[in-house]
Chain A
Amino acid sequence: MIASSVRALVVVPALGELPRFAAGMGVRVLVRSPIGHYRVPIYLRGKTGLIESVIEPRAVDNEQEGFGRNAGSRLHYYRVAFPMTEVWPLYQGSPNDGLRCEIYETWLERT
């Protein structure tokens, strides 16, 4: 055990560098209406799911990319798991069925 002889590293991450959410966390897709361009389908707005995985590396907000922004602040996208019955109240398939979608960090909140 060498911990006692090694000074712990103090590393400060940049703003937005670390993912805000982790696999397994419950999240809700926010409800808002962007003008011009968005990549979160309306059918997912307000829906609750679980983070399946954190997508690496961080990337530019694709809503801004659509207007020509090729650089800028980068945040994480997350692969979010939704039960089909959560997405579609009248879902007619199996209750086991699920949906996955990549969602940008600014579109999610913890449940």
Chain B
Amino acid sequence: MNESERLIKRLPNDIGGLPGPPIARTDHPLEPWEKRCHALADVLDFRKILNTEEKRCGVEALGSEIIGHLSYYERWIVAFSNILLRKQILTPTEIALKMAAVEARWTTGT
């Protein structure tokens, strides 16, 4: 199997049995936004707007590079965004405008 096949045949999260370093017993209390993100995932699942398996599939679809650079809940919120866009529940412009509005609260105090 060459590298181009391997990238498609083995999902980036399918790592059982691969070599790895010693386990660093890290943990951190969730940031408020991370907890909100987890709650959002659960509510979207309860509502069948975005089920848990779709979330997993969405994170896998980010690809190795993004997965390697983003933290756990960062991957989730980007995956949610992608899926909600694909389902046409949200549009790119809606997200962009809302992001700008959220940012503006912090820079102008509105």
Contacts and interface: CB of A to CB of B under 8 A. Distances in A.
B37 to A, nearest CB: 19
Contact of B10 (A37, A42, A65): A42
Interface residues of B, number: 16
A41 interface: yes
Name the interface size band of chain A: 10 to 19
Contacts of A42: 9-10, 14, 16
Nearest to B48: A70
B40 interface: no
Interface in B1-58: 8-11, 14, 16-17, 48, 51, 53-54, 56-57
Nearest to B45: A70
B17 A37 contact: no
Interface of B: 8-11, 14, 16-17, 48, 51, 53-54, 56-57, 60-61, 87
A65 B53 contact: yes
Scoring B11, B14, B57 by chain A CB atoms within 10 A of each residue's CB, the highest score goes to B57
Nearest to B9: A33
A77 to B, nearest CB: 13
Nearest to B56: A66
A35 B9 CA distance: 7
